Amino acid sequence: MAAINPVAELTIDGEVATVTINSPPVNALSQSVRDGLKRGVEAAAANEAVKAIVIICAGRTFIAGADITEFGKPHAPPYLPNVLDLIENASKPVVAALHGTALGGGFEVALTAHYRIAVPSAKCGLPEIKLGLIPGAGGTQRLPRLVGVEKALDVILSGTPFGAREAKEWGVVDELAEEGKLHESALAFARRLIAENAPLKKVRDRSDKLEPARGHPEIFEAIRKANARKFRGFEAWEKAIESVRNAVDLPFDEGVLKEREMFMALLATTQSKAQRHVFFAERQTAKIADIGPDEPIRPIQSVGVIGAGTMGDGIAMNFLAAGIPVRIVETSKEALDRGVAIMRRNYENTAKKGRLTMAEVEERMGRLAPSLDFGALADADLVIEAVYENMDLKKSVFERLDGVAKPGAILASNTSYLDIDEIAARTKRPEDVLGMHFFSPANVMRLLEIVRGAKTSKSVLATIAGLAPKIGKVGVVVGVCHGFVGNRMLAERQREAMKLILEGATPWDVDRVIVDFGMPMGPFAMSDLAGLDIGWSAETSKRSTIREILCEEGRRGQKTSAGFYDYDEARNAKPSAHVEEIIRNFAASKGVAQRKIGDAEILERCTYPMINEGAKILAEGKAQRASDIDVVWIYGYGWPVYRGGPMFYADTVGLTTVLDKLREFEVKFGDDFKPAPLLEKLAAEGGAFSKP
């Protein structure tokens, strides 16, 4: 065995040389990995005793792609395309031996080998699209040659990895190895190739799988049409289609060259920078500044949920899906039965779409124990309260829970706004209390705000932060303040949206601008969906706001087929002339002169106060880092990932631009726009939120 460099070594077993890459955590294609591959293959090729070469990786995975941290920095040789040419043009068979995740550039390395062998648990894929990129090392040219253009585009546009068994079926992988015996199987395979004098199979030389697409541009047009909605606002996907089309229309070398040009151009886009930012931001959230990896974790083997309403149901479903039994308690049998029936119906609907089997539905429902007895929560390791958003009610629930829950149980409130410390103070164990703010629908939305109270213990916080990914959530630790991170910033946008319609924009103007920006829906469509009567009461309503007038007129949102919009039976929204009139009259009664408001002002007034509030949240330490705020908005509210989250977006607009506009608005519209000191400081220093 000989070291090639610190991350690569070469071993010779008789006639077979093995190049092993060992660059934790994921063997990404850093300069030293590229160098190791190049020099390893060169040495093996030069050794006359060697008749075949195996490329394999140590650790948890085959090469998981280019080293994303190197993107945007000056690149040192050897360059990947040259390394790939070297592998493909080797005069001896090269076998790529795959385990873990062979992704992106890693999979592209494997595609230049003459043969591929994989353990059944291995996965292959081209996830570049998720980083706002297309494969840039031959993936769009070689994969269609192996599997045809439709399948290749499926892999490239979804970015979703496929398993080794599928890969074998599709002809991407030549052999399956026994699990845990990859190296010896690869050696045996290589020896067989030598014995059989097997040809050097170059994917680039194949064209049979491309034939069906030749002269059929309509195939690409159909794929384009089918994906247009999914990729609204994204740039990379059309390039991916174009590049795969090049595989059909152009000679291989030209196709590869064009692919590389498109990859490099995409790499420089704000979209790709934003998506790469989100990739790392998501992984950062798990890191809590004052909590080390040795913090003891409490086992969570059973969960209690208080309240079987919409939130309680959704919360319970996360745990049931993760294999954790749930006791759900309600005060009335009707509410309990209704909640349980809704959960079952939700699962059955998923089964109808083919994403669950009926056996899995039964398995999940079998983990649910509904109860009318509060005492049923006594042995739960974690209890999540999901009752109405009312401080007195929550306090009394926690007082009761304190008397029932076992010592060491974690007590969580699914509050969206309220002060966790005040709730915790009602128990004799505030160190065991924290907030777990799920987003509706709680079984779907990936965000979990983990609200750290003043007395929440480190082990409780570490336990819930560690639990989040197990129930499919991205957990972001936030501090106690009204609305935490997400809803506190949302309030800024909602306030401005209401002011804008008073001043002359229509609700549909505002919604259109926000949707064009990339959000899934605008503030008014969102209010209609949630229900305009949340927190509204007929007894106290005095037609003193537009919302009160709408509610008094029975326009309470989608559920009454009318809110800001009119809705038909299929819940399609239509602008309402009547609502425009209500707004006009209301503005007149308040002496607000209406004017024409441009799209730019709508966008700036809706987003800049959010950014400003984000700066205050950061300065107050209610979020650990700006990128955590970005993650909250991406996974909790559907902020377009290609804009990287509100704080990253502010950096791309330029903090001075944001600040100047806020100052201009402050003069025109008052204190709501008063710039946050942190924003002023960063702008003055030429700093950025994403560069702390």
Task: Give contact residues for ligand 3H9 (rule: CB under 6 A).
Answer: 25-26, 28, 61, 64-69, 80, 101, 103-105, 108, 127-128, 131, 135-137, 139, 280, 283
> How far apart (Å, rounded) are the C-alpha atoms in residues 40 and 10?
6
Cβ neighbours around 12 below 10 Å, total? 15
Cα 223–225–226 angle (5° rounding)?
Answer: 65
Which one of the listed residues 108, 259, 492, 496 is annotated catalytic? 108
Tell the smallest beta-carbon distance from residue 682 to ligand 3H9 (Å). 25
Nearest residue (CB) to ligand 3H9, 259 versus 503: 259
User: How far is Cα 110 from Cα 603, in angstroms, rounded to an integer?
Assistant: 46
Name which of 28 and 368 has its Cβ closer to ligand 3H9.
Answer: 28
Say how many C-beta atoms besides its own lie within 10 A of residue 333's C-beta.
10
CB 127, min distance to ligand 3H9, A:
4
Shortest distance (Å) from residue 233 CB to ligand 3H9: 20
Tell me the C-alpha distance between 418 and 339, whole Å.
24
Question: Which residue carries 């090049």 as its tokens?
Answer: 246
CB of 690 to ligand 3H9, least distance (A): 16
If we measure between CA atoms, which residue out of 436, 489, 26, 474 comes closest to residue 287? 474
128 catalytic per annotation = yes
Q: Least distance from C-beta 261 to ligand 3H9, angstroms?
A: 12
Helix axes 677-685, 655-669, angle to 10 degrees: 140
Whether residue 685 lies in the annotated active site: no
C-beta neighbour count of 591 within 10 angstroms? 6
- On whether the CB atoms of residues 477 and 447 are closer than 8 A, the answer is no
> Between residues 25 and 293, which has the closer beta carbon with respect to ligand 3H9?
25
Q: Which is nearer to ligand 3H9, 283 or 345 (CB)?
A: 283
Structure tokens at 131: 């980083």
**Tokens coding 219:** 């195939």
Residue 529 to residue 563: CA distance in whole angstroms: 9
Helix (H) or strand (E) holding 13: strand 8-13
* Residue 268 vs 372, nearer CB to ligand 3H9: 268
Q: Rounded to the nearest whole angstrom, what is the least distance from the CB of residue 57 to ligand 3H9 in the complex?
A: 12
Q: Which is nearer to ligand 3H9, 118 or 397 (CB)?
A: 118
Closest CA to 64 of 93, 35, 21, 107: 107
SS (H, E, C) 347-375: HHHHHHCCCCCHHHHHHHHHCEEEECCHH
Task: Give the nearest distance from C-beta 40 to ligand 3H9 in angstroms.
Answer: 19
Contact in structure between 461 and 432 (CB atoms under 8 Å):
no
Of 88, 128, 385, 604, the active-site residue reads 128
Q: In this complex, which beta carbon is closest to ligand 3H9, that of residue 105 or of residue 507?
A: 105
Which of 456, 404, 415 shows the shortest CA–CA distance to 434?
456
Active site residues: 108, 128
